[in-house]
Amino acid sequence: MIMKQRISKNQIYWLCQVLGWFSLVLVETINYTFVLVGSFQWEYVSAFGIQALYGLLVSHFYKILFIRKSTFEKPVRAIWVKGLADTFNISLIITLIIIGPSIIQSWELMTDQILAVSIEILGRILNQGRYIVVWIIIYYMYKILERNRNILQEKLEMESLLTSTELELLKTQLNPHFLFNALNSIKALVLIDGQLAKDAIIKLSELLQFSLRYEKTPLIQMSEEIYKVEKYLELEKIRFGSRLSYEIEVARDAEGLEVPPALVLTLTENAIKHGITQLPDGGEIKIQVESRENTLLIQVINSGRLKGENLKGIGLKNIRGRLVHLFGKTANLHLQNHLENSVLTTISYPIHAQS
C-alpha cells in the first residue's frame, strides 16, 4: 500500500519561496534576451540569480525578525500599511547588499555626487520593490486568509459546542419531566390497585432502560421511538383503563426515518396531561406518521380542547428548541383545536436535513 504523505506548511513555504524567486530569473532573462538586448548572455542570468538569492534570503530572515504573528491580528488597513513599509525595507536591504560595497569603496569620489547616488539608490529600491511587493501581497494575503479561516473555524466550533450544550440541556430537562409525570401516575395507582401499580413500575423500568440507551443520541429511528411511545401508552393504560384508547399509524416508508429521541413521546405525554386527564370519561389518542414530499409529518390527535396554558409547557418548549437546533427554521410545531372536541398537534421537518 502506498502511503500519501501530507506536505507540511513549512515545505509549502520553501517550495513557494524557491519557485517564486527563481521564476524572477526566468522572466528577466527572457525580457533582456528578446526585448531589451536582443541576445542571450550568461552574465544576465548570473546577475538575476544572485538577485533572486538575495531576495529569498532577505525576505525569509526579515519575515522571522520583523513580521510577527500579532501583525495579522490588527485591522486590515494597519496590516497593509505595515506591508507597504516592509516592501520598502526589504527592497532597501537588498539594494544596500548589492551596491553597498561599491559605495563604500568609492565613498570619497561619491561625496560630490550625493544627489546622483541617492537617485540611483532610490531607483534600485523601486526596481527591487517590483518583486518584493509581489512577495508581500502573496504572503500577507495568505496570512490574512489563514487568520479569517481560523476565526471562522473557531466560530463554527463555538456554535457547534453551544448547540450541543443546549441540546444536552434540553434532553436533561426532558427526562426528569417525563419521570415526574410517570411517577405521579404510579402514585395514583398505588392507592387504587397494588397489582396494577406493580405492573406499572415494570413498564416504567422498561421505558427508562430504553430511554437511557438513547440519551446521548441526537436522532433515532422512528420505529424505535414508536416502540417507546407504545410502552408509555401501555403504562398509562394501566392507570386509565377503559378511559383511554389509542391508535398508532406509521407509514412503512417512515419507519426507518430519524426523529429526535422522545419527540413523539413528549407529544403523547402532553396529550395525556392536557387532554385525557381533564375529561371525566377520558378520551382517545391517535398518532399518525408519514412522509410527504421530503418532509416528515407527525400528527397527534387527542380528545379535549386547546387552552392558553397548554402552549407553555416545558415539553413543547423543549421540542421547539430541539427542532430548531437539528433541522433549522423550516421545522415546525403547531397546535390547534380540531373537529368538535379534539386537539391536533403537528410536527414537520425536512427529511434531507437528516443526512
Q: In the structure grid, which three cell numbers stand for residue 256, read together?
A: 426507518
Q: In the structure grid, which three cell numbers stand for residue 51, read together?
A: 538577485
Q: According to the model, what pLDDT value does residue 174 have?
A: 45
pLDDT digits (tens, 9 = 90+) for 91-108: 999 888 888 777 777 666
Tell me if 166 sits within 8 A of 325, measured CB to CB: yes
Distance CA 71, CA 8 (A): 23
Average pLDDT, the chain: 81
Q: In the structure grid, which three cell numbers stand for residue 173, read together?
A: 430537562
pLDDT score of 314 more than 70: no
Q: According to the model, what pLDDT value does residue 68 have?
A: 85
Q: According to the model, what pLDDT value does residue 315 have?
A: 65
* High-pLDDT (> 70) share of the chain, %: 83
- CATH superfamily for 193-354 is Histidine kinase-like ATPase, C-terminal domain (3.30.565.10)
Mean pLDDT for the stretch of residues 39-57: 86
Query: Out of 190-194, 239-243, 313-317, 325-329, which region has the weakest mean confidence (pLDDT)?
Result: 313-317
Q: According to the model, what pLDDT value does residue 86 have?
A: 92
pLDDT digits (tens, 9 = 90+) for 110-125: 666 777 778 888 888 8
Task: Provide the pLDDT confidence category of residue 176 given band limits of 50, 70 and 90.
Answer: low
Q: Looking at per-residue confidence, does 319 or 250 come out higher?
A: 250
State pTM to two decimals: 0.50
pLDDT digits (tens, 9 = 90+) for 136-151: 999 889 888 888 888 8
Q: Looking at per-residue confidence, does 252 or 187 come out higher?
A: 252
Tell me the sheet residues that pair with 284. Answer: 245
pLDDT digits (tens, 9 = 90+) for 2-42: 445 567 888 888 988 899 888 888 888 888 888 777 788 88
Q: According to the model, what pLDDT value does residue 303 have?
A: 92
Domains of the chain: which residue ranges? 9-155, 193-354
Q: According to the model, what pLDDT value does residue 2 have?
A: 46
Q: According to the model, what pLDDT value does residue 173 have?
A: 47
pLDDT score of 214 more than 70: no
Distance CA 239, CA 203 (A): 12
Mean pLDDT for the stretch of residues 342-352: 90
Distance CA 126, CA 156 (A): 43
pLDDT score of 249 more than 90: yes
